[in-house]
Amino acid sequence: MKTIFTEDHRLQDGKAELIDGKLMPCFEMPRRAEIVIARVRDQKLGEVVAPERFGTDPVLRVHKPEFVRFLETAWDEWVQQHGSYDALPLNWIAPGMRRILPETIDGKLSYYSFDAGTPITAGTWRAAIAATEVAMTGMKLVKGGERGTFALCRPPGHHAGSDYYGGYCFFNNAAIAAQGFRDGGAARVAVLDVDYHHGNGTQEIFYKRDDVLTISIHADPKQEFPFFLGHADERGEGRGEGFHLNLPLPWGISWAEYGPALDTAMRRLTEFAPDAIVVSLGVDTFEKDPISKFKLKHEDYIRTGEVIAAAGKPTLFVMEGGYAVEELGVNAVNVLQGFEAKS
């Protein structure tokens, strides 16, 4: 299996995030991708290739132009106002307030974000664009006949909506790739999100569409971030009704509960008969993940790959979360090796 990777991910290197009532060193750090690419090479998974340049065109297929422009200029505006340190928002919109775009950078950060865990830094724009190019290059390889491809994206993407960022995500790499498949001629695409957290951005982007089936298996939003989306009764809207599936699970579950949820997801996915699958591959479901509360073990990731392979579809794996950094390579590559073993 080929892996798409670029060192440009290092340009996103935030200093601190607000979590557990404290400003802590960012859990989403460059070492995450370094550990994964080292494991890919160590296991001889396959060729590692650099992404092609796509620019912002594929990004603008799923994100609003004003949001894309905001991210392009946010750092410069912030530095002008505050100086050269990471930009975090101050507050958010509550019900009854009005969503009118402010003129100042602090207001814009509040308008376009949903948490204070996602610092905008000097290199954020270039790293975020590079991650979309990694995903699009992977899409192109799968479209060209590869059975499976690994887009080692960083920063991750599944929390980013059509016009907001947060949850360590700026652009929705998986959604951009899924739209890329559609634009390249695929009639139906399925996005399977196995990250511990709900893929709220992906849900929002495709919620009213019946050509992209979106499925997310995640920690119940009654207990876990992002809290305000990801419930089982969210099934899509309008033409998209029935084309979104949330499978929330409670804190503390292990493979005994996770496996059946994955089987349910794959049954729905197979019934949809997609031309391609995009997997939002988060491995923060791991038992030792520092910010998560599922109990999956190393071998469960091999099983996950095997179950996904059984659908028999061309599949693009897009890296999302996972914060047990030293074990991230083993867990991510286990999924890919499980997939290859059953392909």
Reported for 50-54, long-range contacts at CB under 8 A and 24+ positions apart, including other chains, are 50/4, 50/5, 50/6, 51/4, 51/5, 51/6, 51/130, 51/133, 51/134, 51/136, 51/137, 52/133, 52/136, 52/137, 52/140, 53/133, 54/132, 54/133, 54/136, 54/137
Nearer to Zn ion, 195 or 300 (CB): 195
154 touches Zn ion (CB under 5 A): no
Stretch binding Zn ion (CB under 5 A), from 29-37, 142-150, 267-275, 318-326: 318-326
CB of 195 to Zn ion, least distance (A): 4
CB of 80 to Zn ion, least distance (A): 33
CB of 285 to Zn ion, least distance (A): 8
Calpha distance 4→277 (Å, rounded): 17
Question: Tokens 């796509």 appear where?
Answer: 54
Calpha distance 12→15 (Å, rounded): 10
Nearer to Zn ion, 67 or 196 (CB): 196
86 touches Zn ion (CB under 5 A): no
197 touches Zn ion (CB under 5 A): yes
Residue 182's Cβ-side half-sphere holds a number of Cα atoms within 13 Å equal to 19
Among 34, 133, 234, 284, binds Zn ion (CB under 5 A): 284
Stretch binding Zn ion (CB under 5 A), from 21-29, 217-225, 244-252, 317-325: 317-325
Nearer to Zn ion, 58 or 199 (CB): 199
172 contacts 153 by C-beta, under 8 angstroms: no
Task: Determine the distance from the C-alpha atom of residue 278 to the mean position of all C-alpha atoms in its chain, rounded to a whole number.
Answer: 11
Residue 86 has a CB neighbour count (10 Å cut-off) of 19
CB of 197 to Zn ion, least distance (A): 4
Query: How many chain residues bind Zn ion (CB under 5 A)?
Result: 6
- What x-and-dash track marks residues 218-257 binding Zn ion by CB under 5 A? ----------------------------------------
Q: Take residue 136 and report the two structure tokens written for it.
A: 């699009």
Annotate 179-233 with DSSP letters as a single string: HHHHHTT-S-EEEEE-SSS--HHHHHHHTT-SSEEEEEEEE-TTTSTT-SS--TT
58 touches Zn ion (CB under 5 A): no
Nearer to Zn ion, 5 or 168 (CB): 168
321 touches Zn ion (CB under 5 A): yes
Among 282, 305, 314, 338, binds Zn ion (CB under 5 A): 282
How far, CA to CA in Å, does 194 sit from each of 11, 18, 143, 212, 320? Answer: 26, 24, 22, 17, 9
319 contacts 151 by C-beta, under 8 angstroms: yes
CB of 284 to Zn ion, least distance (A): 4
Catalytic annotation present for 159:
yes
Annotate 260-291 with DSSP letters as a single string: HHHHHHHHHHHHH--SEEEEEE--TTBTT-TT
Nearer to Zn ion, 61 or 293 (CB): 293
Catalytically annotated residue among 63, 159, 218, 244: 159
CB of 72 to Zn ion, least distance (A): 26
Nearer to Zn ion, 143 or 198 (CB): 198
Nearer to Zn ion, 8 or 195 (CB): 195
Q: Supply the residues annotated as catalytic.
A: 159
* Residues that bind Zn ion in the complex, under the rule CB under 5 A: 195-197, 282, 284, 321
